[in-house]
Structure 1
């Protein structure tokens, strides 16, 4: 066979393969391709953009196919002459030849605008060359999967149709396939992830981060004086208890004598729990061990006792913890437990119940111990958490009034959109205040902030104690991601955009969901003050909660943590 014949066969096979696609679906998919390049919350590397584009195009193609199917069901179609069909395919090809490269260039340009807004160096447009190839692979894979599901559905319809009327057989087949898909996906996210990932995550949890050494101070869990073994604390627990400022470091920043901050921690290994999540009994056991450490270290005699609800495998934001210790002169105790071996993304997918169990159990156990002491000899009780930690920590309370009644302040950082407490507070905002920075009862006890200046924004009423701060960046996809983005325009996209979000970002059905979903992948890999990167500004967030009215001290603490 000559090379010319080979090319001819390949061209024929390619034309035959392309003819299987619905032209209207391709047109709609091309529109979704253009939309997918539009700006989102954060700049994305080309490979994440490719995935977002591929998924968006596949959704657009599906919309077009469903629309054509509906029109055909209503018998509103007609058979077009072959010449018009060829012209149609030629028009689609010509449009694609112009639109595909044009929007690759525009997409790279929009991404560089987003990069500038969050303080990242611009990328080269040529980096986007791979978007088309990877996106095309994603589209083909998704469409192939969808066609496979359709074939299975048709086969099931035929089987059921032997004994039941066609309308009933179609309905039963669709319901049956839907149930199987839901069960399969749910099983993958819970049992599958836990079995595949939990073992490797537990193995990784045995190591320590570079530079982390066992503390010698008795004020720390894992020290020689502690009942909690150093090896039982987990990777993040060891990092937490070994970190933070010393009393000398605090004194050098504040200019006043300081105490050694107390940090206590109970690792999951200490209760020998296996599996993805912990039950209430084992979480209660961890909470009891934590209280025993608080008693051992004299934590209940400190001015401030803070309960930190951790993320998936026990991470505590070092800046948030250290800022509290600096501002309080080390007269603090911070308590936390590890409730999972999984990193937050996998814990988010596979187990959202355990953070709630952990948040409630730890707070209730510590709170009861505090209440057992004489009223004039109790520490001020604080609580804080970031991401899944904020989600789990807030669930210890029935509402804001309960939080105000049982704590002396709270700092919630980068709260996920699915958090019920956050949603209730946000939805109760004063009329006219934006969703990205809600005002609740004029800011009397609760305030939202993207940066320090938002805590004292014009128009707020006098701030009363206790004080609760919700710290969230306009560009943080963890805060704004929701399944509602698929088909509903959220308030934060009806309002003026935040200072670090491209003003050109708009809501597009289906597309915005995939954009924000992919934004989450590297949300913490941007400079502090943007996305899901919360750092040294924690000092400004803690200061009003602690009633620290010393802006110079806050600035010194902030500089010390940068």
Structure 2
């Protein structure tokens, strides 16, 4: 057989040019990798950073966490760590592609160290949680279900990873379809944008929209009920009574609680040692009038009907999202003044404060402005010598509505005889300005402010030691209250309350870690009301110290404060 002789070697040695770009080659074997729609391999950098985030999630935060929520936090932060680590690994491979041998060594190290690290942090996390419960005056739990914590964390991590893989698969599929029409890079960018927009639309429109609708309907059904032991008042001094301009049925569940659960004249007299008056309590529910202006005007007419402006104290309460007002807050003022009080409040939503804060803050702003303005205008029209004390109270979302009503700290000081705000949120504009303008050397959690008669207290007992001028505005903010300290910037920024000296009930073992601390504090919000008085978002009887600082009755002493707090606590 004759051999074929090639006369021009360049014809065989020169590669054939093609308009198709050459795919990326692996530096280890110089073999063109085959593109796959689904890749089952995990990223070593992602897995490594996920392990770090996972372990850090067991560090303590503001409040103790139950085992199942610890599992959710661990799985969630681990998944975020994996996403960040995978992105970092992808950026590194743009400049340097590690060999298979390097990857194998990294995986072996992870598999060798990770079990030990998890066991160590499980043990440390159990100890930290016990110490935190003791610090907050809670009974220590002797047993923590570490096995189920790990199980829930792995389940959470797996579900989130599966969702991420499905979204990436969808993006690759769209990119392959578009790749027939446009360049590959443009196709993948378009696929990513399409999946992102569709995912956001599904999350915001379908999931969040339906959740909001369901929550609103559920809250509306709850609002139509009546609490156990709550009955329609017979006295003319309450909204919902037969003689009232506001019907009992229109008050809503929290409104009925507000007007019915009032200390009796006998209880008030026994505490003060002298005859007491029948307290006035007035409330307007969402069904009491068509809009906030109508409800505010209706309440002012109720105040005129009951003679509210003839009392020693008129107090306006901006409630939380559901319309709830803490009965310890209202009762404490009535005990202090022997029932010579008129307390007024108005509902603006069915939903809890957390949901109202997230989806629509305008409702609390409009309601607070309408009621405070209506009562203030009626009060300001009276002769100065005949006016009662005008007090204003807000808690949680109610503090936000109160601040937005006045606009500036100066107007708050001038707008009433006393304002008491408990558990302000990160969105409160005046609170933020005052904190940023605090005296040098004072802490974020207990700032000192010398410009105006405004006082901050991280512990209620601090207010008993005030000297000098009487404050007209008091902020009560427990140093372990996640409602006060939660902020989206916790994702990437170390907060001032975790710098230097810590608050009195913040464990020194708590430190800031990117992403991790944000989710820990977010979970703390769920249990903010499940701790003893004076910690978390529980103020209750400590409000007595706030009222005593802002508007003490004549002759009121620290001993009276201690005695009233003991009465309310029991």
With the length of structure 1 as denominator, give the TM-score of the two structures: 0.89
Structure 2 match to 1:78:
98
What is the DSSP-based 3-state SS (H/G/I as helix, E as strand, rest coil) of the residue aligned with 1:132? helix
Please tell me whether the aligned partners of residues 458 and 503 of structure 2 are also in contact (alpha carbons under 8 angstroms): no
- In the TM superposition, 1:222-237 aligns within 5 A as 222-237=240-255
Q: 1:266 to 1:54 in 2, by over 3 A?
A: same
Structure 2 match to 1:500:
505
Structure 2 match to 1:243:
261
- In the TM superposition, 1:222-371 aligns within 5 A as 222-271=240-289, 282-371=291-380
* 2:216 maps to 1:198: yes
Which structure shows the higher helix fraction?
Answer: 1
Work out the number of aligned pairs and report it. Answer: 530
Q: Quote the offset at 1:177 in angstroms.
A: 4.4
Once residues 178 and 373 of structure 2 are traced to their aligned partners in structure 1, the CA distance between those partners, rounded to angstroms, is: 54
Q: 1:546 to 1:87 in 2, by over 3 A?
A: same
Structure 1 stretches of 5 or more lacking a match?
1-16, 273-281
* 2:479 maps to 1:470: no
Once residues 188 and 162 of structure 1 are traced to their aligned partners in structure 2, the CA distance between those partners, rounded to angstroms, is: 32
- Farther off after superposition, 348-357 or 321-330: 348-357
Structure 1 match to 2:134:
116
Partner of residue 424 from structure 2, selected from 415, 424, 432 = 415
Q: Quote the offset at 1:376 in angstroms.
A: 2.8
- In the TM superposition, 1:416-455 aligns within 5 A as 416-441=425-450, 444-455=452-463
Structure 2 match to 1:44:
65
- Higher gyration radius (CA): 2
Once residues 39 and 502 of structure 2 are traced to their aligned partners in structure 1, the CA distance between those partners, rounded to angstroms, is: 41
Q: Quote the offset at 1:50 in angstroms.
A: 0.9
Q: Quote the offset at 1:170 in angstroms.
A: 5.0
Structure 1 match to 2:559:
552
Q: 1:144 to 1:305 in 2, by over 3 A?
A: same
Structure 2 match to 1:59:
80
Structure 2 stretches of 5 or more lacking a match?
1-37
What is the DSSP-based 3-state SS (H/G/I as helix, E as strand, rest coil) of the residue aligned with 2:394? strand
How far does the alpha carbon of each residue in 1:442-470 deviate from its partner, in whole angstroms, 9 at most, with x for none?
Answer: 6x51111122332266xx772245x1111
Please tell me whether the aligned partners of residues 460 and 476 of structure 2 are also in contact (alpha carbons under 8 angstroms): no
Once residues 309 and 372 of structure 2 are traced to their aligned partners in structure 1, the CA distance between those partners, rounded to angstroms, is: 14
What is the DSSP-based 3-state SS (H/G/I as helix, E as strand, rest coil) of the residue aligned with 2:421? strand
Structure 1 match to 2:109:
91
What is the DSSP-based 3-state SS (H/G/I as helix, E as strand, rest coil) of the residue aligned with 2:288? helix
Once residues 18 and 119 of structure 1 are traced to their aligned partners in structure 2, the CA distance between those partners, rounded to angstroms, is: 50
Q: Quote the offset at 1:184 in angstroms.
A: 4.3
Partner of residue 517 from structure 2, selected from 509, 512, 521 = 512
How far does the alpha carbon of each residue in 1:235-262 deviate from its partner, in whole angstroms, 9 at most, with x for none?
Answer: 1111111113222211211123321111
Q: 1:119 to 1:464 in 2, by over 3 A?
A: closer
Q: Quote the offset at 1:188 in angstroms.
A: 5.5
Q: 1:125 to 1:29 in 2, by over 3 A?
A: farther
Structure 2 match to 1:521:
526
Once residues 420 and 189 of structure 1 are traced to their aligned partners in structure 2, the CA distance between those partners, rounded to angstroms, is: 31
What is the DSSP-based 3-state SS (H/G/I as helix, E as strand, rest coil) of the residue aligned with 2:164? helix
Once residues 384 and 126 of structure 1 are traced to their aligned partners in structure 2, the CA distance between those partners, rounded to angstroms, is: 40
Q: 1:185 to 1:428 in 2, by over 3 A?
A: farther
* 2:90 maps to 1:69: yes
Once residues 310 and 179 of structure 2 are traced to their aligned partners in structure 1, the CA distance between those partners, rounded to angstroms, is: 74
How far does the alpha carbon of each residue in 1:80-116 deviate from its partner, in whole angstroms, 9 at most, with x for none?
Answer: 23xx544433322221221222211211111001100
Q: Quote the offset at 1:138 in angstroms.
A: 0.7
Please tell me whether the aligned partners of residues 348 and 367 of structure 2 are also in contact (alpha carbons under 8 angstroms): yes
Structure 2 match to 1:540:
545
Structure 2 match to 1:484:
489
What is the DSSP-based 3-state SS (H/G/I as helix, E as strand, rest coil) of the residue aligned with 1:212? coil
Once residues 407 and 196 of structure 1 are traced to their aligned partners in structure 2, the CA distance between those partners, rounded to angstroms, is: 39
How far does the alpha carbon of each residue in 1:332-370 deviate from its partner, in whole angstroms, 9 at most, with x for none?
Answer: 111111111112233233322211111111111222222
Once residues 396 and 541 of structure 2 are traced to their aligned partners in structure 1, the CA distance between those partners, rounded to angstroms, is: 17
Structure 2 match to 1:213:
231
* 2:47 maps to 1:26: yes
Structure 1 match to 2:151:
133
Once residues 258 and 54 of structure 2 are traced to their aligned partners in structure 1, the CA distance between those partners, rounded to angstroms, is: 44
Higher RCO by CA contacts (8 Å cutoff, separation 6 or greater): 1
How far does the alpha carbon of each residue in 1:460-504 deviate from its partner, in whole angstroms, 9 at most, with x for none?
Answer: 772245x11111111111111110000000100113221211111
Please tell me whether the aligned partners of residues 44 and 103 of structure 2 are also in contact (alpha carbons under 8 angstroms): no
* Displacement over 6 Å in runs of 4+: none
Once residues 119 and 279 of structure 2 are traced to their aligned partners in structure 1, the CA distance between those partners, rounded to angstroms, is: 57
How far does the alpha carbon of each residue in 1:317-339 deviate from its partner, in whole angstroms, 9 at most, with x for none?
Answer: 11111111111222211111111
Q: 1:305 to 1:178 in 2, by over 3 A?
A: farther
Q: 1:186 to 1:369 in 2, by over 3 A?
A: farther
Please tell me whether the aligned partners of residues 266 and 336 of structure 1 are also in contact (alpha carbons under 8 angstroms): yes
How far does the alpha carbon of each residue in 1:130-177 deviate from its partner, in whole angstroms, 9 at most, with x for none?
Answer: 110001111111112222222333344445555555555555554554
Please tell me whether the aligned partners of residues 193 and 350 of structure 1 are also in contact (alpha carbons under 8 angstroms): no
Please tell me whether the aligned partners of residues 447 and 469 of structure 1 are also in contact (alpha carbons under 8 angstroms): yes
Please tell me whether the aligned partners of residues 50 and 79 of structure 2 are also in contact (alpha carbons under 8 angstroms): yes
Question: RMSD over aligned Cα, in angstroms?
Answer: 2.2
